[in-house]
Every structure is written in structure tokens, then in C-alpha cells.
Amino acid sequence: MPIKTPNWVKDAVFYQIFPDRFAKDDRQREGLWQSPQLEPWEVPPTLQGYKGGNLWGIIDKLDYLQDLGINAVYFTPIFQSACNHRYHTHDYYQVDPLLGGNVAFEAFLAAAHQKNIKVVLDGVFNHASRGFFFFNDILENGPHSPWLDWFKVKEWPVSAYDGSLPANYIGWYDNRALPEFNHDNPDAREYIMQIAEYWLKKGIDGWRLDVPYEIETPGFWQEFRTRVKAINPEAYIVGEIWEDSRQWLDGTQFDGVMNYLFTGPTIAFAGGDRVIMEYVEGPGYFPYPALSAKEYGAKIEELLGLYDWEIQQTQLNLLDSHDTARLSTVVGEEKTSIELSTLLLFTFPGAPSIYYGNEVGLPGGLDPDCRRVFPHEPDWNLDVLDYHKKLIALRHQYPALRTGSYDILYADESVYVFARIKAAEELIVAINISDRTQKVHFRVTPQLKTRPDRVVYGKAEISWQGTSNNLELNIPPRTGCIIS
């Protein structure tokens, strides 16, 4: 059977929101429980402190997102939890009271859908937390708990908090705060399936799956897909997998993954030796060593060869996330590296995803610094915002930039040129990473039906030679352009 993915994702521009840090509404609301112990909004974030961002504040930002051109939001976890990032889930059926609870989420979902903005939630289904009811019962009742087989308890007594004693149960990455589900248990498995179904019935548009590669129970993700698609055939299922994902992208499991195989080479090409190693040696996406245009082209061809074209169009492409240092800081806030990377993001097959604040120049090192609050308007970099708006508008304007074929036309030391082609619509994208103006001359293969010669983004001089298919480009230093 041919692979089928959600059509709306092919036209999506995602915005990733870390809910504690994006926007805050301090007004009294039903279901919203704020605290006087919150960290001041403006001070640098800490590992355990809460800022108090909430869904009511995000509702107030929807006009901003719509004006930017966003038509899909991906939230990191929103369910009740005892940590600011909420990957330690207490209750999968309750939105965190600091965010405004279920009342606020229902209001957000309705407001977002009214503006034709899709909503994807983070599903943390590999592990829960010590405060999760079924595991907490084990802590209270020991071997008498009816929920023992929902988790991987090895010996007694279990020690959930005292690090001087063995935990005696399996926690994700040996973290006793994150007890792993036993996915071989049919009841635990069914519980997770019902969570996924519950929120889809409430109206969400998909799930981003946290560390799904950790769940090795045969048939688990196949069943997950079947049950999700039975409720909404257009629901998006995207996995957090940083490497070659062919095992999960066979059409029976996920529609895409967070495409770190695009992230690393793109930063290595656009940023080159400007990449600051202390920010990139830990996370496994490898935006180093510096790549030439030819080397970058080889990486991209390899990536585009990994998956079916239907899957390529629903990959979630990104330049950074809550798990990495922000691009701005990675490249030492060097503005051309950031713009060139962003240009490559918005002209690549798959759904581009902006990590909140990148569009206004928000910097940030490794966790927790990459999770800073969204800045006040006087602190925005308006030049960065301007080119984000232009690139998003162009992606919405030209179907070829969304679902057209991707053909590398030229790749030498510092100049990279490719075409996006959909029927009679043909665009050329050219990047010069050199500190000098570059003039290149080459025969365009495959031959284009049209001769794009109008620069709709950036700067370049274009010349087609007579009746031949030879193209000459004169590209200023460290710039890129889109030619229509």
C-alpha cells in the first residue's frame, strides 16, 4: 500500500512553544493557580524554577502568531507535572494548573482552530513520574500494589528519592524520577492508547512522541497509529528520533520525525567555523565540522534518499529546540549564519518549525538557558523578524517551496544552488557562504521549463546565456536568494 501522511502538514509552518516561558496572563481565571513563589519573568531561567507562563497568555499571542504566518503549534508537555518542562507526568488527563488547567486548554484549542492553527501535543509515553498515580501507589503499598506490573520493579524495597540506596526499578536513563512503563503489560499499553485517543477526541491535531525509540514492544507503534488514524485520519504523528529513522518511517508508524539530520549539516554549512563547540558537543545532531557546499549537497542527497517522498514532505524540520542551544548562540550571534540557516530551513521539503523567540533573535545556551522567556517587544531584533515574515510568506505563496521536487543544480566550495519544482512553477535558491562575492556559471540540469530571473528574496545578479540552459549567478558575500 502507498504511504499516506496528513496533507495539512505539507503546508504547515510550525511554532514550538515551551509553555512555562512563552506568555503569561496574570488575571484571575477559573482553573488557573499561580503562586507567589514563581521566578521573576525577566531573570535567567534555572533548572527547577517556574516562570508561570500559561495558556491564557498564549491565547493572547495567537494574533501575533497568525501575523507571523504560523498555522501549526507544537507544545512541549502541558500535562500536570512537578517540573517546569513537564516531562515528568503526574496525570495525562489533566492540563497543569499553572497553565490554566483543562479549562484554559479547551479555550486555547477553540481559539487556535478558529484561526486555522493546528495544535500538536507532546506525548511522553515511555515513562511517567514518581507522582504518577499508578506508580505512587507502588511507593505507598509496595508489593501489595495492584499496579506492580505496569512498571519494571526489580527488587524490594524500591527507593524513589534516596540516592544512597538502589532504586530497584527501571527509570529512563537510570533517572529514578522517571519510572518506565512496562509496555508489555496489556493494561499499561491500553492506558497509553486511550490517552492518545482521549485528546484526539477533544480536538488536538496530532502527537509529537518523546523518545519513542525506547519503546520496543512489538506492534506498539503500529497499534498506536491505527487507533490514532481511526479517530482522525489527518492526525500528525511525529517522533523524536535524532538519527536514521527508516525503522519508524515505513508508513505503518510515524508520519515524520524531528529532522535533526537536516539540522546538523545545515548549521555546519551556513555557520561553518563560527559554530562554538561548547554548545554542540553534547547533543547528538553534529553541526560540525564545517561543510563545503559540495559536502552539504552530499549530506542532503543522502537525507532525501532515506525516506519515501510522502514522508519527506511531513518531516518536522528545525534549527534548534528545547534540547539544544539556540542557533543564535551556537554561531556566536553571527547574523549571516542565522539568516542563511533560516533560508535553507524554509526552502527545504517538510514542515519548518520555529523554536519560540528565534524569529525575534532570542539567544540561549544549553538547558536551561535555551528555555529563556519570550522577550518584550523593545528587545526584539526587527531585522530577524522581518526576514522570518518574508520567508514564511514566500513559502505560503509558492507551492513549489512546500511540495515541489528538490534538485541540486550546483555545489562547489562556497556556492550551493538548488531548484524547487512543481509543475510549471520553478524556483531557484542560491547560497554563498563565502566572505567574497562569487560569480558562478553552470549548465542547469535537469533542464527547467522556465528561466527564473526575478529575485523575490535576497540579492543576486542573474543571467541566462542565449538560448542555452547556461545560468550565470553573481552572489554577494554571505547571502542567499530565492529566484522566481
Active site residues: 210, 240
Residue ranges in 117-167 assigned as alpha helix (H): 133-141
* Residue (of 378, 384, 382) closest to 327 by Cα position: 384
Joined grid coordinates for residue 430: 542560491
**Pairwise CA distance, residues 384 & 339, whole Å:** 8
Per-state percent for the chain, helix, strand, coil, to nearest 5: 35, 20, 45
| CB-CB contact of 19 with 58 (8 Å) | yes
**DSSP characters for 339-401?**
HHHHHHHHTSSSEEEEETTGGGT----STTGGGPPPPPGGG--HHHHHHHHHHHHHHHH-HHH
Joined grid coordinates for residue 453: 530571473
For residue 43, the one-letter residue type is V
Burial class (CB in 10 A: 0-12, 13-18, 19+), 438: buried
Positions of E strands within 136-177: none
Q: Are strands 479-483 and 455-458 parallel, antiparallel or unpaired?
A: antiparallel
Joined grid coordinates for residue 74: 507544537
161-183 CB burial, b ≥16 within 10 A, e <16: eeeeeebebbbbeeebbbbbbbb
**DSSP characters for 290-342?**
---HHHHHHHHHHHHTTS-HHHHTT-EEES--TTS--HHHHTTT-HHHHHHHH
Joined grid coordinates for residue 470: 547556461
| CB-CB contact of 169 with 179 (8 Å) | yes
Joined grid coordinates for residue 331: 554561531
Q: What are phi and psi of 31, to 5 degrees?
A: 85, -5
Joined grid coordinates for residue 420: 524547487
Residue ranges in 183-289 assigned as alpha helix (H): 186-202, 220-231, 260-271
